[in-house]
Amino acid sequence: MPEERRKIEAKIEKLLRELTVAQQCSLSKISSYGYTLSFVRTTPDGKLAVVQLDDSAMTVDDEGEIDHHPNIKIRD
């Protein structure tokens, strides 16, 4: 189990390095509510960080703006 956790933490660290400073600051704020970074999607407008908590998701754009109700489909 500890090895699996280390792999997940390494994956998250790698994803965090891809983000802008503004995105990292916003993620820091919402992570206190339990949201975790799931993946980063590249869009024509830049990178979009997708965070999840249970069945809910939010996105954070390059400017650090948080969309609490994104129009995004998440696969199971």
Span 6-63, pLDDT tens digits: 877 787 788 888 899 999 999 999 999 999 888 999 999 899 999 999 889 999 999 9
Phi, psi of 58 (to 5 degrees): -135, 160
Scan for tokens 């996105």, then name that residue: 59
pTM of the predicted model as reported, rounded to 2 decimal places: 0.81
Taking a C-beta distance cutoff of 8 angstroms, is the pair 13, 27 a contact? no
The two structure tokens encoding residue 21: 């400073």
C-alpha to C-alpha distance for 1 and 71, rounded to whole angstroms: 34
Domain boundary assignment for the chain: 2-67
Torsion angle defined by CA atoms of residues 9, 14, 20 and 23, in that order, rounded to the nearest 10 degrees:
-30
